[in-house]
A and B are shown apart, each in its own frame.
Chain A
Amino acid sequence: MIEVRNLVKRFGSRDALKGINLHIEKGMIFALVGADGAGKTTLLRTLAGILTPDDGEISILGRDIIKDPECAKEHIGYLSQRFSLNPSLTVAENIDFFGALFQVPYGEREKRTKRLMEFSRLGPFRDRQAGKLSGGMKQKLALCCALIHTPDILLLDEPTTGVDPISRRELWEILYDLLGEGVTIVVSTPYMDEAERAGEIMLIHNGRAVISGTLDQLKASYRYFLFEAVCDQNRQALRLVSDHLGKNRVMFFGDRLHIALNDGSESAGIKSLLENSGIQILSLLKIDPGLEDIFIQETSGDN
């Protein structure tokens, strides 16, 4: 469906993408995860055909979109990060506009608009101006606009950033529905927990794909034994362990500490290290790594 080879994009002297390779199968949700400035938006824009890469190949639906950026556009629904709807147009008018832009026949447009309204629960707001919608509703409307031409591929650039948790869950429900209809979805997000919902995940860091695969594959690549510790003086504990093991081996996760150990037996050493300093350990358990732990493992070498 989407095939990317050695994609390079420079902005002046800054390399935004440093040789990205991608292979995305039809009918899956593919998540691009990374911090702000990692290159997610640049990658999605090159896939949408609105940014010309400096090097590399992109093939979408078997077409070379670097040679002819227009050839795949009608099959792609693209939702930009700063998706800006015309605030003076109503919900229905905004959807209709995108329908016309993609030359969806009028009758068909009506039918699909009705369906999208149901599915996004925007129906009651169809005549409200887009400028007067809440953040979550705006994002749902934007998604409807990107879906009106029933694209085969959906490119979503941080669709849930700045959206309340309930709307976020609703958006993901919509994405799963689309997945059921065979749409291929590429979604970028800065949130690790969100990326875990995707079929395949790629971690982007400084313009490079540090690792990609299914969540299970990523977990299997985790080299450490991860322990979760709760202590009475977490802050001091963090400092002690970090001095002992290294800066990237211990992290706060809410009121817990994640400690990455080379070996399960190391936990006894950590335990005595903390207790010798008068820190009381309330619990110390081996856990499965999350995406964030994997991300830290993959990116810590850089710093």
Chain B
Amino acid sequence: MRYLAIAKREALSIVRDPRSLFLVVFLPVMLLIVYGYGVTFDIRHVPVAFYDQSRSAQSRDLIDRYLSSGYFLLRESANSRESLDRLLIGDKIILGIVIPPDFADHIIAKNGGEIQVLVNGSDANTANVAMGYQAAVFADYTGDIFKPPSNLKIPSVDLRIRTWYNPELKSSHFIVPGIIVIIMMLLGAILTSSAIVREKETGSIEQIVASPIKPWEYILGKMTPYIVISLSDVMLVVAAAYFVFNVPIRGNLLYLGFFTVLFLANALGIGLFVSTVSRTVSSSQMFAVLISLLPSILLSGFIFPIESMPRPIQAITYFVPARYFLVILRGIFLKGVGVDVLWPQALFLTANAAFFLTMAALKFKKKLD
């Protein structure tokens, strides 16, 4: 009953505050849409310039292949090495391709030939991806040009690559689940921490601790409305992922719900812990962002693969709940797997939730000093 009183009071104050209602209901979906469109590793329309010294049918054919691939956008045709350099220095292009004067002769004679590719490495990520596209287009081109005559059979291994789970390699398919993880973590941690710290700031906590309420009744009561809100947010966000970004949901939605509750327990646990060590709402929010948002982005495997991190950093990632939920979401969305595969993640999430909630419960005292 005391637990319900706290929960009801919290729910009423959320519902009656239009700003917080907006924050908890619409912000997650808005964030997903903004970041879902904004954050992509697919690089299209890589600006490129050619310095075509050959000016032949062959060189034009090569340029056409680049541009028709859809990955490259012709920025400008350079007519000297210097103008190509200027374009690179001015960050106007990522790739500058120099086709030498003797290119056509070599192609006709089928004895090799070469082109020069200058890459703007100031953005290493984009440069890498652009190089990859470039290499693919070029390999395609040389394959066609130097194709052995069809009557001549050369025995070779037939390499057929098939990408499972995300055949088109759309980065939105794995980025959107990552963004869901981050949004839920941020929301859960910030909402719960500010909910409790606000009571410290206004002083209303003093009346609560002077009552016979048990700490768990208070904590659970404060969390309940946010659990409900977060679960509905997950539904909204998953619906947006499905309908707006066409991310497939191949797995069971019930499993999704189960894992989401586990993950939210982590997010809320972190929020509670933050609230026990902060005195003002602004400091609690800073702290919550620091220990929930940043690790969820940087240490979860969302952007940087955990396997390539140094060992000590890898050890830290075990305490990043987003790491497990990311695997779970990608597993359920893209692979359609369930608890039979994801149980280790479920175990780690449970352990982490227990850890954070225990820490919070130990730090939470019904005292003012």
Chain A residues with a Cβ under 8 A of chain B = 11, 45, 48-52, 69-70, 73-74, 76, 78-80, 82-86, 88-89, 93, 97-98, 100-103, 129, 145-146
Which residues of chain B (46-87) have a CB below 8 Å from chain A? none
| Chain A min CB distance to B300 (Å) | 36
Smallest CB–CB gap between B133 and chain A, Å? Answer: 55
Q: Are A100 and B5 in contact (CB under 8 A)?
A: yes
A82 touching B206, Cβ below 8 Å: yes
Q: Is B367 an interface residue (CB 8 A)?
A: yes
State whether A97 touches B13 (Cβ < 8 A).
no
Can you list 17 contacts pairing A with B, beta carbon distance less than 8 Å?
A: A45-B206, A50-B367, A51-B368, A52-B369, A70-B366, A73-B210, A76-B210, A78-B206, A78-B210, A79-B207, A80-B210, A86-B204, A100-B1, A100-B4, A102-B212, A103-B212, A146-B207
- Measured in the bound complex, the distance between the Cα atoms of B13 and A129 in whole Å is 11
Contact of A73 among B5, B204, B211 (CB under 8 A): B211
Q: Which residues of B contact A89 (CB under 8 A)?
A: 9, 12-13, 16
Q: Which residue in B4, B8, B368 is a CB contact (below 8 Å) of A45? A: B368
- Within B1-41, the residues touching A (CB, 8 Å) are 1-2, 4-6, 8-9, 12-13, 16-17
A51 to B367, CA, bound (A): 6
Q: What's the nearest-Cβ distance from chain A to residue B132, in Å?
A: 55
Query: Which of A11, A69, A83 contacts B207, CB < 8 Å?
Result: A83
15 further interface pairs, Cβ-Cβ under 8 Å (given A50-B210, A85-B204, A145-B207)? A50-B209, A51-B368, A52-B369, A78-B206, A80-B206, A80-B210, A82-B202, A83-B203, A83-B207, A86-B13, A88-B16, A93-B9, A100-B4, A103-B2, A146-B207
- Complex: A50 Cα to B12 Cα, angstroms: 27
CB-defined contacts of A11 to chain B, threshold 8 Å: 369
Kindly list chain B residues whose C-beta atoms are within 8 Å of the C-beta of A50. 206, 209-210, 366-368
Q: Which residue of A lies closest to B214 (CB)?
A: A70
| B-side contacts of A74, CB under 8 Å | 211-212
Establish whether residues A88 and B12, one from each chain, have CB atoms under 8 Å apart when the complex forms.
Answer: yes
Chain B stretch 322-347: residues in CB contact (< 8 A) with chain A: none
- By a CB distance below 8 angstroms, the chain B residues around A83 are 203, 206-207
Contact A69 B366, beta carbon cutoff 8 Å: yes
Which residues of B have CB within 8 Å of A103? 1-2, 212
Question: Which residues of A lie under 8 Å from residue B207 when comparing CB positions?
Answer: 78-80, 83-84, 98, 145-146
On B, residues with C-beta under 8 Å from A are: 1-2, 4-6, 8-9, 12-13, 16-17, 202-204, 206-213, 366-369
Partner of B204, one of A48, A76, A84, A93: A84
**Of the candidates A88, A98, A100, which one forms a contact with B17 in the assembled complex, judged by CB atoms under 8 Å apart?**
A88
What is the CB-to-nearest-CB distance from B195 to chain A, in angstroms, rounded to a whole number? 12
Query: In the assembly, what is the distance between CA of A76 and CA of B211, in Å?
Result: 8
Contact residues in A for B8 (Cβ distance below 8 Å): 97, 100
Residue of B4, B203, B369 near A80 (CB, 8 A) is B203
Complex-state Cα separation, A128 to B247, whole angstroms = 48
Q: Do residues A84 and B202 form an inter-chain contact, with CB atoms below 8 A?
A: yes
Q: How many A-B residue pairs have CB under 8 A?
A: 84
Q: Roughly how many angstroms separate A119 CA and B16 CA in the complex, as a whole number?
A: 29
Which B residue's beta carbon lies closest to that of A103? B1
Interface centre among A74, A83, A85, A88 (most CB of B within 10 A): A88
B208 / chain A contacts, CB cutoff of 8 Å: 101
Are B9 and A97 in contact (CB-based, < 8 A)? yes
Closest CB of chain B to A75's CB: distance in Å?
Answer: 9
Chain B's closest residue to A72 (CB) is: B212
Does B211 contact A101, Cβ atoms closer than 8 Å? Answer: yes
Pick the 10 closest A-B CB pairs, nearest first: A100-B5, A82-B203, A88-B16, A84-B204, A78-B210, A84-B202, A80-B206, A73-B212, A84-B203, A88-B13
* Assembled-state Cα–Cα distance A82/B203 (Å): 6
Q: How far is the CA of A84 from the CA of B366 in the complex (A)?
A: 17
Q: How many angstroms from the CA of A79 to the CA of B206 in the assembled complex?
A: 9
Tell me the minimal C-beta distance from B301 to chain A in angstroms. Answer: 41
Among residues of B, the one whose C-beta sits closest to the C-beta of A93 is: B12
Give Cα A88–Cα B366 distance, bound, in whole angstroms. Answer: 24
Which residue of chain A lies nearest to B12 when distances are taken between CB atoms in the complex? A89
Cα-based distance from A79 to B203 in the complex (angstroms): 11
Q: How far is the CA of A60 from the CA of B204 in the complex (A)?
A: 24
Residue of B nearest to A101 (CB): B211
Residues of B within 8 Å of A76, CB to CB, are: 210
Please report the C-alpha to C-alpha distance between residue A52 and residue B212 in the assembled complex, in whole angstroms. 16
B2 to chain A, nearest CB (A): 6
Measured between C-beta atoms, what is the minimum distance from A176 to chain B in Å? 24
Query: How far does the Cβ of A227 sit from chain B's closest Cβ, in whole Å?
Result: 45
Please determine whether A98 and B211 come into contact, CB atoms closer than 8 angstroms. yes
Q: Which residues of A sit under 8 angstroms from B202, Cβ to Cβ? A: 82, 84
**B10 → chain A closest CB, angstroms:** 9
Separation in Å of the B33 CB from the closest CB of chain A?
30
- B9: chain A residues at CB < 8 Å are 86, 89, 93, 97
> Taking each of A70, A73, A79, A101, which has the highest tally of chain B beta carbons within 10 Å of its own beta carbon?
A101
Task: Indicate if the CB atoms of A49 and B210 lie closer than 8 Å.
Answer: yes
Distance A101 CA – B7 CA, assembled complex (angstroms): 11
Closest chain B CB from A73 CB (angstroms): 4
Q: Which residue of B lies closest to A94 (CB)?
A: B9
Q: Which residues of A contact B213 (CB under 8 A)?
A: 101
Q: Which chain B residues border A45 with CB–CB below 8 Å?
A: 206, 368
Q: Which residues of B contact A88 (CB under 8 A)?
A: 12-13, 16-17
With most chain A CB atoms within 10 A of its CB, the pick from B1, B206, B366 is B206
Contact A102 B204 (CB under 8 A): no
> What's the Cα separation between A48 and B210 when bound, in Å?
6
The CA-CA distance from A146 to B367 in the complex, in Å, is 18
